[in-house]
Amino acid sequence: MATLISTIITNTRTARLRETSASFWSDAELLVHALSGISEAWRRVVDLHQEHYLTIDETNVTLAAAAASLSGIPSTCFRIVSIEARDLTTSSANFGLEFFPRDWNHPDMTNARRQANIDPTGRPIFYTVVGQGPPVGTMTVRVAPKTTSAVNLTLAYIPTHGADGSDDNNPIPGESDLAIEAWISAHALAKERKLSTPDAEFMGLFESQMQRILTALTPRQEQELETVEGLYEGFY
């Protein structure tokens, strides 16, 4: 069961920093360190590309008629995994419609921007992700060519971890509480020792814990071995 961040802070204070109650370090101060440690751990888990945070939105995202951008992109969307029409059945008005990612200056995208609006049936639509994304702002997904009618979409994406307070759960999988405790301790002790860098021993504990966590988190299934497809293998 997930652990509250407030519990991790309490455990860190009593077991690592040897305080029975807030004295030298305030809860707010330790929360700042906890959230920075969670962000660091989250980035590493996301880079495993094992879909631990995969979220599928089948409600909010649409492409309006004659629109150059998608509507309803979640503000927490950090990375797009896939975009597809919500109804892909053979009887759907959007049967065969596919979305393909392209850089803004890719020839496919450049040529698509010059096309007239298309009927969204059995045709490719190209998209480019622009903007910084969270936490700076919601990303924009530009599309081309434009369509003559609206399309309801399914967006599969990786959101930000979402933890921003002590009453949130630790969002890092893999039994990561000790790693977050180590991160908090390393940065908290820098204050006590009047250092400009985190405590090396606790940072070493954080790194060793993260290495074990990342090893344990992949693969996510063992029914089939993970393989890498050879060049052009899909064309044979």
Domain ranges of the chain: 5-50+162-217, 56-159
User: What is the side-by-side strand order in the sheet with 140-144?
Assistant: 98-101, 124-130, 140-144
Residues in the chain: 236
Sites in the chain below the pLDDT cut of 70:
233-236
In DSSP notation, 125-146 reads EEEEEES--TTT---EEEEES-
Beta-strand ranges (E) seen in the chain are 55-57, 62-63, 77-85, 98-101, 124-130, 140-144, 151-159
Q: What is the pLDDT of residue 20?
A: 86
Q: What is the pLDDT of residue 236?
A: 64
> What does the DSSP 8-state code read for residue 147?
B
Q: What is the pLDDT of residue 83?
A: 97
Give the side-chain half-sphere CA count within 13 A for 63.
31
17 dihedral zone (left: phi>0; alpha: psi -120 to 50; beta)? alpha
Q: What is the pLDDT of residue 23?
A: 86
